[in-house]
Amino acid sequence: MFDLIIRKGQIVHPEGVFQADLGVWDDKIAQIAEEISEPAHQEIQAEGLHIFPGVIDVHVHFNEPGRTDWEGIATGSAALAAGGGTLFFDMPLNSVPCTLDAENFDKKVAAMRASSVTDFALWGGLTPANLGHLPELAERGVIGFKAFMSNSGLPEFSHADDATLYEGMKIASRLGLPVAVHAESDVLTGYFTQKLRSQGKTGWRDYLASRPVFTELEAISRALILARETGCKLHIVHISSGSGVVLAAEAKASGVDVSLETCPHYLAFTGEDLERSGAIGKCAPPLRSEAERDLLWAEVLRGAVDIIGSDHSPSPPSMKQGDDFFALWGGISGVQSTLAVLLTEGWHRLSLPLEGVARMLADTPARRFELNGKGRLEVGYDADFALVDLHESFSLKREDLFYRHKQSPYLGKPFTGRVKETWVRGQKVFGSGKISPVKGPTLIRPRSAS
């Protein structure tokens, strides 16, 4: 007797897509077979639907505790679930306090347990002020340490200078955890920003000009050198340019233990889209040229990008309004749309294989961050999945968004491929446009901590 059987769906596995019945018992996948003859408490006829492993978003900022008015865990995780997501990794900032020591880790876990709709994992921070706290964060179960090579935009989270990064990587390497870097040169982006603003240049084109691709490449190179030297596992977050991926992929081929992340907005938009979206599309690194965007897609298609994370980083609408583009909040609301972007722009338009989607959104995140029982539709794994109609078209409307603030550069965008239901550990958290939070949202820790 199963709790749930999903019949005749197309199972999307990193090694192939095939039709099967999928049986769930308690919170786990108990059987996958051409036909399951046993009965179940509940059955879903999924003919014509694809079953994807639940999206694992390795990069979100839900901003709680402390800045819940920017997003919050309840609305952020609901949006994740509506987009087919079952697990997110919350960044150590823009919450207050930041996740820089064990005490503040515990505060964030308490907030997550109280409000999250799905399972969650936490990044710890790596700043000049908290090197001594990295071991206790590892003990608590962070999945890695996030450092900013450029200004974080928030005074309470200092950027990591080269010495901090070097020492932090040595400690992380000993602890067996990855260091994630926001790779933009602080010196160069700071220099260009100051130069342009002092000339009264404050438009969106000036903002783009203040963070050219080479300032990203310079920081990526430096992070790769430090990772090679320290033996640290490196994760480069939100690589915005095809050139950045090419550079990091070359280092990886020569033996650096590095994983490459990009975001859906770098695949869906170019810098010119800021004309229309204004600061709703502002992020750092910024949206790039069409040539860089096309090269980024080519790199995704050849399998050079490991992971696609949303870098969902919302703010109140007021922080997106004003004349000085430099002063406006940089961060895109997009956690709900990652899978839809990959299906629409990737699978439909560019023949990106569905197996690749499953790999970048679920399997590789689980493997890279050493999570047990997550990321694949296989017997013994957690029953985390999304039912998707690959052929249903829709344009994203304000009322579809689960975000606290209904703003996103994806609003009005036509998509093909819609999430119908999302299940976390055998519980339906999203269906018929409604959210019902998972019972007992769980902190997912890497194998090294469990």
Provide the 10 A C-beta neighbour count for residue 425. Answer: 24
Q: Which two tokens stand for residue 125?
A: 């921070």
Q: How far is the CB of 35 from Zn ion (least distance, A)?
A: 44
96 φ, ψ (degrees, to nearest 5) = -130, 120
Q: How far is the CB of 269 from Zn ion (least distance, A)?
A: 17
- Per-position b or e across 36-61, b if 16+ CB within 10 A of its CB: beeebeeebebeebbbbbbbbbbbbb
* Residues of the shown chain interacting with Zn ion in the complex, contacts defined by CB under 5 A: 311
Between 63 and 115, name the residue whose CB sits nearer to Zn ion.
Answer: 63
Report d(CA 224, CA 143) in Å as an integer. Answer: 20
Between 284 and 354, name the residue whose CB sits nearer to Zn ion.
Answer: 284
Q: How far is the CB of 92 from Zn ion (least distance, A)?
A: 10
Three-class SS state of 443: strand
Between 71 and 311, name the residue whose CB sits nearer to Zn ion.
Answer: 311
Between 306 and 311, name the residue whose CB sits nearer to Zn ion.
Answer: 311
Report d(CA 409, CA 82) in Å as an integer. Answer: 17
Report d(CA 117, CA 51) in Å as an integer. Answer: 20
18 φ, ψ (degrees, to nearest 5) = -150, 155
Q: What is the dihedral of CA 379, 381, 383, 384, to 10 degrees?
A: -130
Between 10 and 150, name the residue whose CB sits nearer to Zn ion.
Answer: 150
Place of tokens 């938009």: 269
HSE-CB of 386 using CA atoms within 13 angstroms: 30
Q: How far is the CB of 397 from Zn ion (least distance, A)?
A: 26
Q: How far is the CB of 251 from Zn ion (least distance, A)?
A: 22
Please tell me the chain's helix, strand, coil percentages from 3-state DSSP, rounded to the nearest 5. Answer: 35, 25, 40
Q: How far is the CB of 311 from Zn ion (least distance, A)?
A: 4
Report d(CA 37, CA 283) in Å as an integer. Answer: 51
- Which DSSP letter does residue 348 get? I
Strand 307-308 vs strand 2-13: parallel, antiparallel, or unpaired? unpaired
Residue count of the chain, please give it.
450
Between 216 and 311, name the residue whose CB sits nearer to Zn ion.
Answer: 311
Q: How far is the CB of 299 from Zn ion (least distance, A)?
A: 20
Three-class SS state of 184: coil
Q: Provide the total of helices (H) and of strands (E) in the chain, helices listed first.
A: 15, 18
Cβ atoms 262, 311 nearer than 8 A: no
Between 21 and 311, name the residue whose CB sits nearer to Zn ion.
Answer: 311
Between 64 and 311, name the residue whose CB sits nearer to Zn ion.
Answer: 311
Provide the 10 A C-beta neighbour count for residue 34. Answer: 9
Q: How far is the CB of 90 from Zn ion (least distance, A)?
A: 10
Q: How far is the CB of 238 from Zn ion (least distance, A)?
A: 6
Name the residue number minimizing CB distance to Zn ion: 311
Between 52 and 89, name the residue whose CB sits nearer to Zn ion.
Answer: 89
Question: Which of 282, 288, 299 is CA-nearest to residue 334?
Answer: 282
